[in-house]
Chain A
């Protein structure tokens, strides 16, 4: 089941999502070989929103890779070394992933990989992947529609690896294509959407628990609360809440969360709604409020990416 979010108001402060999901929106990614997307799964990706790239040309990927590689080498010589001690030669690879997109209107995803080969080791040694990042647009048509010709829309960026490399790659892209990267935080509101939607997903294998993590920092001693529900029971609850066919509403998400809060309050007399929801975790995916996600199941990959693309777009607008 693929869902799409449409922003109710433009106000950045008060995001009020009115979710409607269509019957599964047929996309290019659905038919992709599981092998190709295996690299996405089970990794913690840090999320960013990226404004459109100016004068980015797919045909020039090899040239861009060379330029980025030179940039990284130059920065290291300046003393902004990323690895202390061992001298590493960083190799850059830029790949276009034609199948990693929602529709024909989306730009194909762009994968950036940094590999190292230690100078000390022999010529035959394999390169070691030290950092990867990819730009993506999953059904981001609303956004790309309104954009001028010279611009390429890939609003979602995901990185995995040392932050120092992310900074290097990000600065090069910003300088070269006049774009802007911003960390994508995920609000408690969006996290509750995610947990409600993902808890309702049907999975063929035994699933892991539906877990919500709350943080209460401003006490005399900080407190963390982990509330994990058996996946069958969480799904059973969501199935009775989610009544409108073909649609998920804010109200239904609220009812689902209120039920969980009420069950908790009955036992512990604590108002979870007064605490901060910082992380949600299900068998489909997990997400942290600092903008870190892990996608665990290839079946729901398009849906998750679509949701994240929407979040990125709303941060840009």
Chain B
């Protein structure tokens, strides 16, 4: 077995938390159950990975199998990576039959015609997701297995999720290969990024519970309001609380929200102030960059108004995130009739 392959497998196993190693190796399926039984998982990881490498040596593992192990690791720990969303466009309306074998062949063909040294690996998952791993080399160097790109493509959709290699120059070639293989003629990056791959999928596939309009004329009882136990206790602002709750429901829905970690707004709007204050009155934009971050951004935004930190309804700049499928914005002043409005190009 090649020394570089051995080292790569050793380092990949080292990344896995000790309790998860056996399960991921089983998913990999390269080592037999009997071989797995011989492994002692109660020692330090350094030793476990050495033992795994020895077993791989017995089975003569090559880079192809090692690459599959890497996909399995990254699929299990997908949230460690930052994912960008791309949308592809077809020229015609025809829904062509998707053949996975043709796709793989065309993808590999396109890449290999441009670059001799690449390692390309595919793995299909139950939810129709095709995971693609590409390790990039140069005409003179073997592929760098430690800086691959990962692509997740759902064949029935025009969406591709890419976690790029740090080798940025490889991105255009990757996009080209995707288009050629999947029969699309254009691809563009959406302004949507997150560590949570599932949340990105929720947003673009519209898998979360969206706004629902309550058509019933009678007001919805605030779900958070506890029934009073003591009639001497009167809840202040009860109707305001209920109004906020209802507005939140309308905008955010009542189901779980997709998990995003941040949203970024580049503001190029005018600074407007109370004329009495006699402050800045420039004709040029007041340039700002605003970033919101949270372990679960949409949930925290939803709780701002009930906590009294924001007005209800919350600004559409924030509430549009899921249905506009973006978390990067550039906001300019809207010219003309409505000076208070904003446009987002």
Binding site for B on A (CB under 8 A): 209, 216, 218-230, 233, 236-237, 240-241, 255, 259, 262-264, 266-271, 274-275
Contacts and interface: CB of A to CB of B under 8 A. Distances in A.
Given A219-B304, A237-B279, A267 B289 contact: no
B294 A224 contact: yes
Interface string B255-292: 00000000001010101110001111110001111111
A223 B271 contact: no
A274 B308 contact: yes
A225 B264 CA distance: 10
Given A222-B295, A224-B294, 8 more contacts: A219-B307, A226-B291, A228-B291, A240-B278, A240-B281, A267-B269, A268-B315, A269-B311
B299 interface: yes
B277 A264 contact: no
Please list the 8 inter-chain residue pairs (A to B) with the smallest Cβ-Cβ separation, ordered nearest first.
A230-B287, A221-B300, A223-B300, A226-B291, A269-B315, A269-B311, A221-B296, A270-B310
Contacts of A275: 309
A221 B280 contact: no
A211 to B, nearest CB: 9
Nearest to A216: B309
A268 B282 CA distance: 22
A317 to B, nearest CB: 34
Contact of B294 (A222, A237, A241): A222
A271 B271 contact: no
B310 A271 contact: yes
A229 to B, nearest CB: 5
Contacts of B272: 263, 266
A219 B286 contact: no
A227 B290 contact: yes
Contacts of B239: none
Nearest to B269: A267
B318 interface: yes
B301 interface: yes
Nearest to A219: B303
Contacts of A267: 265, 267, 269, 290, 315, 317, 331, 342
Given A240-B279, A259-B277, A269-B311, A224 B293 contact: yes
Nearest to A260: B288
Given A240-B278, A270-B309, A264 B303 contact: no
A268 B314 CA distance: 7
B280 A220 contact: no
A224 to B, nearest CB: 5
A217 to B, nearest CB: 10
B293 A223 contact: yes
Nearest to B340: A266
Contacts of B299: 220-221
Nearest to A266: B272
Nearest to A268: B315
Contacts of A259: 271, 273, 277, 279-280
22 contacts: A209-B289, A216-B300, A219-B300, A221-B299, A222-B295, A222-B300, A223-B293, A225-B290, A225-B291, A225-B293, A226-B290, A226-B291, A230-B288, A236-B280, A240-B280, A241-B279, A263-B271, A267-B269, A268-B314, A268-B315, A269-B310, A269-B314
Contacts of A274: 308-309
B16 interface: no
A274 to B, nearest CB: 5
B297 interface: yes
A216 B292 CA distance: 11
Given A220-B300, A240-B279, A228 B290 contact: yes
Contacts of A233: 271, 282, 286-288
A152 to B, nearest CB: 45
Contacts of B310: 268-271
Nearest to A270: B310
Contacts of B282: 233, 236
